[in-house]
Structure 1
Amino acid sequence: MSENYYKPEMLADTDWLLENLDKPNIRIVDCDPPDSFFRAHIPNSVNIGSNTFVKSANSSLHVMDAEEIEEFMSNLGISSDTTVICYDGRNSLTATRFWWVLNYYGHTNAKVLNGGWIKWISESKPVSIVPTKVDKTKFVAEKDDSLIADHNRVLAAINSDSDIIWDARTIEEYNGQNSRGNKNTGHVPSCVYTEWIDLIDSNNMSCFKSPSDLEKIFESLGVSREKQVFTY
């Protein structure tokens, strides 16, 4: 159950979502590409569209700017009083990205569906093929710059005992064998490494691993609540 995690308010359980599917203040956001969404999705959900990482039209390296994000979220029917439930069928890869974007722009009333689409259909919960029509709302972006580290801050973290830099990419990217289109290969000096997918329990319908298992991973990386953690 999500209640056992350190911050359970960041997650939603499938049983809870089933009970709250029709609540007017809840917006369920499918963070998979449109072709997956149109094959089937959780009832009353809206689709994020093809831009699953919410990248700016002006730079594929950066998230949408405030003006872009206000239009984007408003079209999804998200306003300041909306509880947003993010899910996907890709081990929460794009759902957590969307959750982070919401938080970065000041909307902290958001949750990731633990297990996402994989757990939902594994439990034979209802699905829909009908797109959800929503009224456009007014989303006001209030950027929280503390959630992004600039170049100078990362440089300072490299030699800092109170900071942890965590490379969460694939091992091929970490080792410099796959550039993924980047100019440079390899990893940031002094970083620790564990791929993001290692936090997901493949034997439990793609839910996040248990709090005790996650704590073991964090301890092995030197991650603690006393340290500032930078992920990439």
Structure 2
Amino acid sequence: MSYARPEYLVDTEWVAQNLNNPDVRIIESDEDPLLYATGHIEGAVQVDWFSTLQHPLRRDFLTKEKFEEVASNLGITNDTTVVFYGDKSNWFA
């Protein structure tokens, strides 16, 4: 399988090598938010796509400003490498 921007993808080995890297933030976002409690990557934080990553009334993408607020609350800066993953083939990541 090929990807349009493969340089933006990481593999499990890369994640394992960077679990303690302070410049890396690992985020899990699942269709079913209860899955996080059943197991997740060490150090990963949970983001509920339904309540956090979409507009509450329009069910649309967040505004740039709201996304920046969410990212800041997760400890993400312009210098942070973010790894998003989740269930359903990462559909909600």
TM-score (structure 1 length as normaliser): 0.36
Please name the residue that 1:36 is paired with: 35
Moved over 4 A (4+): none
Please name the residue that 2:70 is paired with: 72
- Shift in CA distance, 56/39, structure 1 to aligned 2, threshold 3 Å: same
Shift of 1:76: 1.3
Check the 8 A contact 1:56/1:68 in 2, yes or no: no
5+ residue gaps, structure 1: 96-232
Q: Distance in 2 between matches of 1:7 and 1:68?
A: 26
- Shift in CA distance, 5/55, structure 1 to aligned 2, threshold 3 Å: closer
Q: Distance in 1 between matches of 2:55 and 2:65?
A: 10
Check the 8 A contact 2:28/2:36 in 1, yes or no: yes
Give the letter for the 1:49 counterpart.
Answer: D
Please name the residue that 1:85 is paired with: 83
The structure, 1 or 2, with the larger RCO (C-alpha pairs under 8 Å, 6+ apart) is 2
Query: What are the residue-to-residue correspondences of 1:6-25 with 2, within 5 Å?
Result: 7-25=5-23
Shift of 1:15: 1.1
5+ residue gaps, structure 2: none
RMSD value, Cα: 2.2
Query: What are the residue-to-residue correspondences of 1:1-232 with 2, within 5 Å?
Result: 5=3, 7-32=5-30, 33-51=32-50, 54-60=53-59, 62-95=60-93
**CA distances 1:14-47 after superposition (whole Å, capped 9, x unpaired):** 1111111110000001011431111110001111
Seq. identity, %: 34
Please name the residue that 1:152 is paired with: none
